[in-house]
A and B are shown apart, each in its own frame.
Chain A
Amino acid sequence: MGTCSLRKAFSAGCPGRVATMGYSLDFRWLHDAAGAIAHGAAMTLLLIACTTVLGILISILLAAARRSRYDLLSKAVAVYVEVVRNTPFLVQLFFIFFGLPTIGIRLDPIVAAILAMTLNMAAYTTEIVGAGLDAVPKGQSEAALALGLRAPQVFIKVILPQALKVIFPALTSQVVIMMLESAVVSQIAVRELAHEADLLQARTFRSFETYLVVTMIYLGLSMAIRRFFVAGGRRVLGAGVS
């Protein structure tokens, strides 16, 4: 690394270097790191995409099970939701990643991460989807049944679209929260954004700058996901989705 005086840092002589109180920030490593960061961001997006699809599908089933006639099934879902919501995601992740191999199930870190994220997400979205289902007036399903639709058709064509519209903002927030929380899967060596940051800072010795850049990328990702969902929601579920 070349030496850069404070004065030179402010002039054009030393690009990428900014002086602060007694310490100069150095962003020159960023040029070489762009590929790794992009790769990490892509992995983070892949993780959250899988989790969102799987988590919401599971939570629709669980929300229906929670409202079923079978008492035991309903109670089991309630217990699952409470256990997941009242324990830290990181503990759930370690429980799955370190625990399953002891009973002979060896998981790839990426699979373990998606599994833990999906189970976590489903517990939260089960509550959200359930609230949405409850918000659809009973008359809607009665009317659909009266028109001769079968029960699954009533659920998929009449109840679910209306419920989704009501809960869409809450679902979007949950996806963003899960994406941010996915940073901890770096702890089981999944090469997503936070893990790339860990590797980079170990190489460049520019820890603060590395995490600053990566934090800002997370901020951009969370805003992008929000935009994407609002735009997608408007298109699929119609106007009025915010």
Chain B
Amino acid sequence: MIEFTFWDILRNLLFATRWTLLLSMVAFAGGAAVGLLILFARIAKRPWLRRFGAGYIALFQGTPLLMQLFLMFFGLPMLGFRIEPWTAAALGLTFYASAYLAEIWRGGVEALPRGQWDAGASLGLHYLQELRLVILPQAFAITRPPVVGFLVQLIKSTALTSIIGFEELLRTANAINNATFEPFTVYGLVAAIFFVLCYPLTQYARLLERRAPAH
């Protein structure tokens, strides 16, 4: 048995944290890109597109992320992709994030007064210009607190990818725990690292919320 000192444990966990961070960032960026498409569908004029957007969001918000990850992990090979935990984790979290972000932004778009659309139209802007120049900048601005809040949720959700074999913080912790049998130290440290990542963001979201003009 290898002897692990406290510092060995901490060092190994900190090294693994970069994968947690990288996955969070990739999922957030990917989720924002896909989420924008879903948002367009959700607020489109065609009813079938709206229904598709609503169904997509309901599906991802109504099923466990763990099942979504498993479906990615076992479904991708059927479409001819090679399974790598990293691919399944990044794609799974991307789709998951896209549903939540689309729903948050939809709330922002719908919170805007109807007059914003009318004003855009009266200036001769067509639909996409209205969205790009008038609607979306305002919708993004007023939904910043919940988006930051969701980022916290996303960072925490990366822990689930340990189950499909992605070598992030928690999976590393499981391996160390199996070698050291010090669950309180190991999982306590993991919790502390997640806390250090998430707490500032939580506080930032609160700050944004306080700063937001009351409606």
Measuring CB to CB, which residues of chain A are less than 8 angstroms from any residue of chain B?
Answer: 20-23, 82-83, 85-92, 94-95, 98-99, 102-103, 176, 180-184, 186-187, 194, 197, 201, 207-208, 211-212, 214-216, 218-219, 222-223
A208-B199 CB under 8 A given contacts A183-B66, A194-B67, A215-B63 = no
B109 → chain A closest CB, angstroms: 21
> Does the CB pair A183–B191 fall under 8 Å?
no
A183 → chain B closest CB, angstroms: 4
> Does the CB pair A98–B187 fall under 8 Å?
yes
Interface centre among B62, B78, B173 (most CB of A within 10 A): B62
Other contacts beyond A87-B195, A223-B62: 19, CB < 8 A: A21-B78, A21-B79, A21-B80, A86-B152, A86-B198, A87-B194, A87-B198, A88-B157, A90-B162, A94-B174, A95-B183, A99-B184, A181-B64, A184-B66, A211-B70, A212-B71, A215-B67, A218-B62, A219-B62
> Does the CB pair A102–B183 fall under 8 Å?
yes
Residues in B67-85 with C-beta less than 8 Å from chain A: 67-68, 70-71, 74-75, 78-80
CA distance A86 to B187 in the complex (A): 14
Measuring CB to CB, which residues of chain B are less than 8 angstroms from any residue of chain A?
Answer: 58-59, 62-68, 70-71, 74-75, 78-80, 152, 156-160, 162-163, 170, 173-174, 177, 181-184, 187-188, 190-191, 194-195, 198-199, 202
> Does the CB pair A183–B64 fall under 8 Å?
yes
Whose C-beta in chain A lies nearest to the C-beta of B194? A87
A99: which B residues are within 8 A, CB to CB? Answer: 183-184, 187-188
> 23 A-B residue contacts at CB 8 Å?
A21-B79, A23-B78, A82-B202, A87-B156, A88-B170, A90-B160, A90-B163, A94-B174, A94-B183, A95-B188, A98-B187, A99-B188, A102-B181, A180-B64, A183-B66, A183-B67, A187-B163, A194-B67, A197-B70, A208-B75, A211-B67, A218-B63, A223-B62
> Does the CB pair A22–B80 fall under 8 Å?
yes
A20: which B residues are within 8 A, CB to CB? Answer: 78
B68: which A residues are within 8 A, CB to CB? Answer: 215
8 Å CB contact of A83 from B66, B79, B152, B195? B195
How many Cβ-Cβ contacts under 8 Å join chain A to chain B? 120
> Does the CB pair A90–B198 fall under 8 Å?
no
8 Å CB contact of A86 from B79, B181, B182, B195? B195
Whose C-beta in chain A lies nearest to the C-beta of B182? A102
8 Å CB contact of B70 from A87, A180, A207? A207
8 Å CB contact of B202 from A85, A95, A208, A216? A85
A182: which B residues are within 8 A, CB to CB? Answer: 64
CA distance A89 to B187 in the complex (A): 12
A95-B184 CB under 8 A given contacts A184-B163, A211-B71, A222-B62 = yes
> Does the CB pair A83–B160 fall under 8 Å?
no
B163: which A residues are within 8 A, CB to CB? Answer: 90, 184, 187
Whose C-beta in chain B lies nearest to the C-beta of A24? B78
CA distance A103 to B185 in the complex (A): 13
B43 → chain A closest CB, angstroms: 22
8 Å CB contact of B191 from A83, A187, A211, A216? A83
> Does the CB pair B160–A184 fall under 8 Å?
yes
CA distance A223 to B61 in the complex (A): 11
CA distance A85 to B157 in the complex (A): 12
In the A-B complex, the 5 residue pairs with the closest CB atoms: A183-B64, A98-B183, A88-B159, A86-B198, A207-B74
B71 → chain A closest CB, angstroms: 5
